[in-house]
Amino acid sequence: MPLKSVYNAPWFVKVVFVISLFVVFFIAGIAYKHITDLSKSQSLVVHTYKVNVELEQILSYLKDAETGQRGFIITRDSLLLQPYLKSRNNLNNSIAELKVLIQDNQEQQKNLRELSIAIDQRLDNFELASSYIFNKPNNAAQFDKVFLLGNDYMQDIRNKLNEMIALENGLLEERQASYRSTLKFTPVFLYGFVIIVLIFMYLAYAKINTNLEELRLQNHQLNVFKESTKQSEIINKHGSWRWNVDEDSFHFSDNLFRLLGEEPNAFEHTIENFMHFVHPEDVKKLSDSIERMRHEKDLPFVTYRVIHNDGSIHYLKAYGKSTIDRDGKTQLLGTTTDVTEDIAHYNTLELRNQELELNNKELAAFNYVASHDLQEPLRKIQTFLSRLKEKESDRFSESGKTYMARIDVAAGRMRALIDDLLQYSRTNKADAVLKSSNINTLISDAQQDLAEAIVEHDAQITVANMPKMLVVPFQIQQLFANLLNNSLKYRAKERAVIISIEYVLIAKSEDERIASGHFAQYHKISFTDNGIGFEQQYAEKIFTLFSRLHNKDEYSGTGIGLSICKKITDNHAGFIFAKAAPDQGATFEIFLPKRQ
């Protein structure tokens, strides 16, 4: 995980706090241990000093006793024996103190036992020497021997004391070294951990400071959002409300008051005050919805009317949804929208639908007239014209025959126009049903419809294999027939007609011309011919109703065929485009949506 993401994690401050707390306790424990070790080292140093002092004291007591004895021997003054007499008791006390001090040192205990024996021997020697002074003053030789032996005992005691002091001094040196090491390491150790704690505290501070900055920014954004929400409510003519079900308390947004024709907070936020503005005929409906919302914790869309103080009536639509807050309390959050204009637009749309329905009926009546009433006199004209040609043509002058031919052509053009208009009107039917159809069959049927013209012009038509599609069969067959007929009509007279029909399935993203389509994939069917073509600037105009690029005397037609093709592709939510160049043929590309 990147360090930045760890630093920005919401748990970072908590972890730093826990680590800092742990480090503080750890430092406290280490500090306590070091202080305890320091105190122990100091106690050991003091202990060593005490042992040395007691050893020096023993030597001092022996020296005092020895000095008193020598003074007595020289002066025979018994007062000089006082140090000697006190020394045994003092020596016993010092030895007892030493036993306590060195009880954890086996080697020193052994030395102390040997020292005690040597002291006892020396004290006994003192006793023996003193007895010669009192009882055998004339036995000088024996006294000298005893006296010199006392010197040897004293030297042994000094050696043993020096040995014990040297041992204690060695221990003292070790303990002083340990004491100095502990004393030296402890501040460094504590300082290092304090630095670590300060680093963690700084990181926590930096994170908290960053969080505070983010919080200030979020508060600012929240205030902006709150203000924009208020403006949005005003612009979109809706207000919000909140109902705390457990406490049965309401809160209305400022714009909800405006939807009632009042200023914000013009009355207390209660449902009773709100109901005063509801139209009397809608009070029960709204009350029942609120009561149902109380139990079902939900409010489906409900529309009702309110009356402003100026007497105007407005339509409001409300919706509510229950939520649970952090305290476990149930709240209903809802929105109320002023749909007065929507209702007015709906009423207008209903009126327009009625007018459209009437127009459709009139169009159906027109289709009936066009298919029956208009074609009936046209058939009579063509019938009588045919009879005149058969029976009376010999009686007409040349100009009369010319007029008769023109009437025949005009009647034929009129019939073609009526047929194309009927065909175009049939493509407007909205009740056509999409069916899974074999496109290959529909193209074959379209060729059968134009078989005579195809044979007449010796047209070569190649058709790619195509999958089944969901289409309106008769419309798609008409589309194919019109495109084939268009290629046959606008053929180049100096070369045979060649028509190629290709197919490919493409994604919408593959062709920017169909980017506005609502389907992911489209069937692309291309009709390519080698006819006379046209200027590319007319590629859209040719699909306009009654649009023609050539004189009617050059090429027959009504200008409706390609309009029918455009209408059929529109009915299928598809597209049709044309590409061409003069005398280089034309390509018509049809895009029909792939439906599931």
Task: Give yes or no for residue 430 having a pLDDT over 60.
Answer: no
| 3-class secondary structure, 467 | coil
Sheet holding 521-529, edge to edge: 460-463, 498-507, 521-529, 586-593, 575-580
Task: Give yes or no for residue 344 having a pLDDT over 60.
Answer: yes
Both structure tokens of 383 = 């019938």
Kindly indicate the confidence band of residue 48, based on its pLDDT and cuts at 50, 70 and 90.
confident
User: Which pLDDT score, from 0 to 100, does residue 374 have?
Assistant: 63
Q: Return the HEC string of 406-463.
A: HHHHHHHHHHHHHHHHHHHHHCCCCCCCCEEEEHHHHHHHHHHHCHHHHHHCCCEEEE
For 269-298, write each residue's pLDDT tens digit. Answer: 888 888 888 888 888 888 888 777 767 766
Task: Give yes or no for residue 557 having a pLDDT over 60.
Answer: no
Domains of the chain by residue range: 3-208, 237-338, 431-593
For 227-255, write each residue's pLDDT tens digit. Answer: 776 677 677 777 887 888 777 788 888 88
Task: Give yes or no for residue 501 having a pLDDT over 90.
Answer: yes
Q: Which of 106, 87, 101 is nearest to 51 (CA)?
A: 101
Both structure tokens of 302 = 């409900």
Characterize the bridge pairing of strands 460-463 and 498-507: parallel
- 37-65 burial, b for 16+ CB within 10 Å, e for fewer? beeebeebbebbeebbebbebbbebbebb
Specify the higher pLDDT residue, 41 or 451: 451
Cα-based torsion angle of the residue sequence 54, 57, 61, 67 in order, rounded to the nearest 10 degrees: 150
- CA-to-CA dists, residue 188 to 185, 194, 488, 548, 566, angstroms: 5, 10, 103, 101, 91
- CA-to-CA dists, residue 460 to 53, 447, 449, angstroms: 134, 11, 16
User: Which pLDDT score, from 0 to 100, does residue 240 have?
Assistant: 80
Kindly indicate the confidence band of residue 466, based on its pLDDT and cuts at 50, 70 and 90.
very high
For 21-36, write each residue's pLDDT tens digit. Answer: 777 777 777 767 767 7
Task: Give yes or no for residue 47 having a pLDDT over 90.
Answer: no
Confirm if 43 and 51 have CB atoms less than 8 A apart: no
Task: Give yes or no for residue 429 having a pLDDT over 60.
Answer: no
Cα-based torsion angle of the residue sequence 462, 466, 469, 475 in order, rounded to the nearest 10 degrees: 0
What residues form DSSP beta bridges with 506? 522
User: Which pLDDT score, from 0 to 100, does residue 464 have?
Assistant: 93
- DSSP H or E segment with residue 249: strand 249-252
* Terminal C-alpha separation, the chain: 45
Q: Average pLDDT, stretch 373-392?
A: 71
Task: Give yes or no for residue 62 having a pLDDT over 80.
Answer: no
- DSSP H or E segment with residue 15: helix 12-75
Kindly indicate the confidence band of residue 472, based on its pLDDT and cuts at 50, 70 and 90.
confident
Q: Which of 272, 277, 227, 279 is nearest to 253 (CA)?
A: 227
Q: Average pLDDT, stretch 251-261?
A: 83
**pLDDT mean across residues, the chain:** 78
CA distance 284 to 336: 18
Q: Which of 136-150, 161-175, 361-375, 397-411 holds the top average pLDDT?
A: 161-175
What amino acid occupies position 513? R
CA distance 418 to 435: 29
Q: Average pLDDT, stretch 59-73?
A: 74
Can you give the pTM of this predicted structure?
0.43
Quote the percentage of the chain above a pLDDT of 90: 10
CB-facing half-sphere around the CA of 211: CA atoms within 13 A: 14
Radius of gyration of the chain (CA): 61
Task: Give yes or no for residue 588 having a pLDDT over 90.
Answer: yes
Kindly indicate the confidence band of residue 527, based on its pLDDT and cuts at 50, 70 and 90.
very high
Q: What residues contact residue 165 under an 8 Å CB cut-off, 6+ apart?
A: 52, 55, 56
Q: Average pLDDT, stretch 533-558?
A: 70
CATH class, 431-593 region: alpha beta
Specify the higher pLDDT residue, 165 or 509: 509
- CA-to-CA dists, residue 51 to 160, 168, 352, angstroms: 14, 7, 121
**What CATH code would you report for 237-338?**
3.30.450.20
Task: Give yes or no for residue 193 having a pLDDT over 80.
Answer: no
